[in-house]
Amino acid sequence: MLVFRRWIQIAATLLSNAFLLFPLTRNLYQGRLKSICVPGLNCYSCPAATGACPLGAMQSLFANIRPSIQAGRIHIGLYVIGFLGLIGTLIGRMPCGWLCPFGFFQELVFKIPSRKYEIPRILTAGKYVFLGLFVIILPLFVVDEFGYGQTWFCKYVCAAGTLEAGIPMSGLQPQLRHLWGWLFFNKVLILLILLVLMVFIRRPFCRMICPLGAIYSLFNRLSIFKMVYHPDKCVHCQQCYKNCPMGVRFYEGANQPDCIRCLKCMQESCKYGAISFEIAGIQLEMPRHKEEHPKVMSDI
């Protein structure tokens, strides 16, 4: 299953970035596929991108609400909100663990051998601040004299944009380098800090910053796909926590906001069958060897 997840992550990354003619065209893909959002964080200004980043699209629609309404168009972000809500209702935060290219990238960087650290739990609330402030409030309400807002998260924070678009496009179109200023170097600094953190901390961007993950996490408890915890089988060995790419303590409850449903805990960590999943209320469990609960064994 874990190898299968890796292949899905590779396939999702390649499909989201399938425009391989960009070294020849030196420009973005211009096809109609770009009107469709991808489920993960993948900058649409990445030269290979074949879909639209839902977060960028949402901010863009929010930032242009006033001019579009004045022009008689009702472009208020319903398409993107509906898209994210539908995915969230079906599988919760699963796209973060299976389909997000930037999440996949962080997992690969974390494999670099080093001492690993944990972040204070309070910092995981940061993603909701970024969602509320940088994706919703600021693009909606801070506007210029013509009513146009800005894509605040993309412009000031998003490290995926710097990595996937800023640096490669500056290589493809050298004239862009003349436009580098404090904003660009600020974003490069954010990216560098995050790259260092990725070596030592599990998925720091997903856990502390990503507004897309924050949106999906709101659906974790009510999605059709759900993780299930069996407290009677749990021995609190904490193996699920030690192996979790998001540092989730599964024994504190299933479907926590940071659970990305990668199933690593179920497949690789828990030997006692304390973790399973259900789809639309039908409980499923992947076949694997289960050890007896030590309490049960001692009773025999």
| Residue 76 to residue 79: CA distance in whole angstroms | 8
Q: How many CB atoms lie within 10 A of CB 120?
A: 6
Q: Binders of another protein among 195-254, rule CB under 8 A?
A: 222-224
Residues that contact another protein, how many (by CB under 8 A): 61
Instruction: Give the binding range for another protein (CB under 8 A) out of 1-9, 49-57, 94-102, 200-208.
Output: 49-57
**Does 150 engage in binding with another protein (CB under 8 A)?**
yes
Least distance in Å: CB of 229 to another protein? 15
| Residue 240 to residue 5: CA distance in whole angstroms | 17
**Does 71 engage in binding with another protein (CB under 8 A)?**
no
Element (H, E) at 211: helix 211-217
Candidate list 12, 48, 53, 198; residue touching another protein; CB under 8 A: 53
Candidate list 188, 199, 234, 235; residue touching another protein; CB under 8 A: 188
List, in sequence order, the alpha helices (H) in the chain: 2-16, 22-25, 54-63, 65-70, 78-91, 94-98, 101-110, 126-129, 138-141, 152-156, 159-161, 167-172, 182-200, 204-208, 211-217, 239-243, 264, 294-299
Nearer of residues 89 and 238 to another protein, judged by Cβ: 89
Candidate list 12, 41, 48, 52; residue touching another protein; CB under 8 A: 52
Least distance in Å: CB of 257 to another protein? 17
Q: For residue 241, give both structure tokens.
A: 């926590």
Candidate list 113, 120, 174, 181; residue touching another protein; CB under 8 A: 181
| Residue 73 to residue 38: CA distance in whole angstroms | 24
**Does 151 engage in binding with another protein (CB under 8 A)?**
yes
Nearer of residues 43 and 275 to another protein, judged by Cβ: 43
Q: Which residues pair with 99 in a beta bridge?
A: none
Nearer of residues 1 and 192 to another protein, judged by Cβ: 192
One-letter amino acid for residue 39 of the chain:
P
Candidate list 131, 165, 227, 254; residue touching another protein; CB under 8 A: 165
| Residue 111 to residue 194: CA distance in whole angstroms | 15
| Residue 53 to residue 55: CA distance in whole angstroms | 5
- Phi/psi class of residue 107: alpha, beta or left (left: φ > 0; alpha: ψ in -120 to 50)? alpha
Q: What residues line the site for another protein (CB under 8 A)? A: 27-30, 32, 34-37, 43-45, 49, 51-53, 56-57, 60-61, 64, 68, 73-75, 77-83, 85-86, 89-90, 150-151, 154-155, 158, 161-162, 165-166, 169-170, 176, 179-181, 183-184, 186-188, 222-224, 280-281
